[in-house]
Chain A
Amino acid sequence: MTTKTKSDLLLTGVGGQGNILASDIIGEVALTAGYDVKKTDTLGMAQRGGSVVSHVRIAEKVYSPLIQEGGVDILLAFEKLEGIRWANYLRPGGIAIINNHALPPLSVNLGAEKYPSDIEIMQILQQRTGKIYLVPGTLKANELGNTRTLNIFMLGCLSVFLPFTVPDWQAAIQKHLPEKLWKLNMAAFAAGRKEVENVHV
Chain B
Amino acid sequence: MFRVSILGFRIYFQSQFLSKDYRPYVIMILMKKLLSGNEALALGAYHAGVAFASAYPGTPSTEIMEAVAVHKDIYAEWSTNEKVAAEVAMGACYAGARVMVSMKQVGLNVAADPFLAVSTTGVNGGFVLIEADDPGIHSSQGEQDNRHFAELAKVPILEPVDSQSAYDLMACAFEISEQFDTPVMLRSTTRISHSKSIVAVKDSRTVSTRKIGFSLNMQRWVMLPVNARLRHVAMEDRMQKLAVYAETFPYNQIEPGDRSLGIIATGISYQYAREVFPQASFLKLGMTYPLPEKLIREFAARVDRLLVVEELDPFLEDHIKAMGIKCEGKQFIPRCGELNTDILEAAGRKMGIIKTPAPEKLTLPTELAKRPPLLCPGCPHTGFFYVLAGIGQRLKLPGAKEKTPGAPNLVVAGDIGCYTLGAYPPLNAMDTNGCMGSSIGTAIGMEKVGLPAKIVAVIGDSTFLHSGITPLVDAVYNQSKITVIITDNSTTAMTGHQEHPGTGISVQGQAGGKVVLEEVVKGVGVKNLAVVDSFNIKEIRTAVKSALDSNELSVVIVRGACVVHVPKHGETQIIDTQKCNQCGICLLVGCPAIQTDDRQPVIDATMCTGCTVCAQVCPKQAIGPVSRLKAEVIN
Contacts and interface: CB of A to CB of B under 8 A. Distances in A.
B342 A106 contact: no
A107 B369 contact: yes
A38 B342 contact: no
A113 B364 contact: no
B362 A38 contact: no
Contacts of B198: 31, 36-37
Given A70-B359, A81-B369, A65 B271 contact: yes
Contact of B369 (A28, A50, A115): A115
A143 to B, nearest CB: 15
A64 B595 contact: no
A48 B191 CA distance: 20
Contacts of B271: 63-65
Contacts, number: 160
Residue among B372, B494, B495 facing the most chain A CB atoms (10 A cut-off): B372
Interface in B533-578: none
A109 B592 CA distance: 9
Contacts of B592: 49, 106, 109
B362 A63 contact: no
A112 B374 CA distance: 16
Given A40-B191, A47-B373, A104 B595 contact: yes
Interface in B451-466: none
B625 interface: no
B259 interface: no
Nearest to A49: B374
B398 interface: yes
Interface stretch (A121-129, A149-157, A188-196): A121-129
Contacts of A42: 138
Contact of B590 (A15, A106, A113, A128): A106
B364 A65 contact: no
B371 A46 contact: no
A39 B196 contact: yes
Contacts of A40: 191, 194-196
Nearest to B496: A46
A158 B418 CA distance: 34
B369 to A, nearest CB: 4
Given A66-B191, A81-B371, A88-B361, A110 B341 contact: no
A118 B363 CA distance: 17
Given A37-B34, A47-B421, A127-B363, A105 B369 contact: yes
Given A40-B194, A47-B373, A81-B369, A64 B359 contact: no
B345 A110 contact: no
Interface in B174-203: 191, 194-198
A144 to B, nearest CB: 15
Which residue among A28, A66, A128 has the maximum number of chain B CB atoms within 10 Å of its CB?
A: A66
Contacts of A62: 197
Nearest to B338: A66
A86 to B, nearest CB: 10
Nearest to A16: B376
A171 B274 CA distance: 33
Contacts of B590: 106
Contact of A109 (B272, B365, B494, B594): B594
Contacts of A66: 191, 272, 340-341
B365 A44 contact: no
B32 interface: yes
B371 A68 contact: no
Contacts of B362: 87-88, 124, 127-128
Given A81-B368, A112-B398, A124-B364, A41 B373 contact: no
B425 interface: yes
B606 interface: yes
Given A39-B196, A124-B365, A147-B606, A111 B371 contact: no
Given A69-B361, A110-B425, A38 B195 contact: yes
Interface in A70-87: 70, 81-82, 84-85, 87
Contacts of B504: none
B562 to A, nearest CB: 11
B272 A63 contact: yes
Interface in A84-122: 84-85, 87-88, 104-116, 120
Interface string B55-78: 000010000000000000000000
A112 B365 CA distance: 17
B374 to A, nearest CB: 5
Given A112-B399, A120-B365, A46 B196 contact: no
Interface in B317-346: 340-342, 345
A81 B371 CA distance: 10
Given A81-B368, A87-B362, A120-B365, A37 B197 contact: yes
A135 interface: no
Interface string A12-50: 001100000000100110010000111111111111111
A44 B373 contact: yes
A51 interface: yes
Nearest to B363: A127
Q: Which of B362, B372, B374 has the most CB of A within 10 A?
A: B362
Contacts of A85: 368, 371
B429 to A, nearest CB: 15
Tell me which of A68, A108, A123 has the highest count of chain B C-beta atoms within 10 A of its own C-beta: A68
A48 B376 contact: yes
B234 to A, nearest CB: 40
B341 A46 contact: no
Contacts of B340: 64, 66, 68
A27 B196 CA distance: 8
B359 A110 contact: no
B513 to A, nearest CB: 28
Interface string B365-404: 1101111111010000000000000000000011100000
A113 B399 CA distance: 9
Given A44-B139, A68-B341, A110-B397, A51 B195 contact: no
Contact of B370 (A45, A49, A65, A113): A113
B365 A49 contact: no
B376 A49 contact: yes
Contact of A111 (B342, B397, B594): B397
Contacts of A41: 194
Given A40-B195, A66-B191, A110-B397, A123 B587 contact: no
30 contacts: A24-B34, A37-B198, A44-B373, A45-B59, A45-B494, A46-B59, A46-B495, A46-B496, A47-B418, A48-B376, A63-B271, A63-B272, A65-B191, A66-B340, A68-B340, A68-B341, A70-B360, A81-B369, A81-B371, A84-B368, A87-B362, A88-B361, A105-B371, A106-B592, A109-B592, A110-B398, A110-B425, A112-B397, A127-B362, A147-B606
Sorted from nearest, which 10 A-B pairs have the closest CB atoms?
Answer: A47-B373, A113-B369, A112-B398, A50-B373, A40-B195, A65-B195, A63-B275, A112-B399, A105-B371, A63-B274
Given A110-B426, A124-B364, 14 more contacts: A24-B196, A27-B196, A37-B196, A38-B162, A40-B196, A41-B194, A49-B371, A65-B195, A66-B191, A69-B342, A69-B359, A87-B364, A110-B398, A124-B365
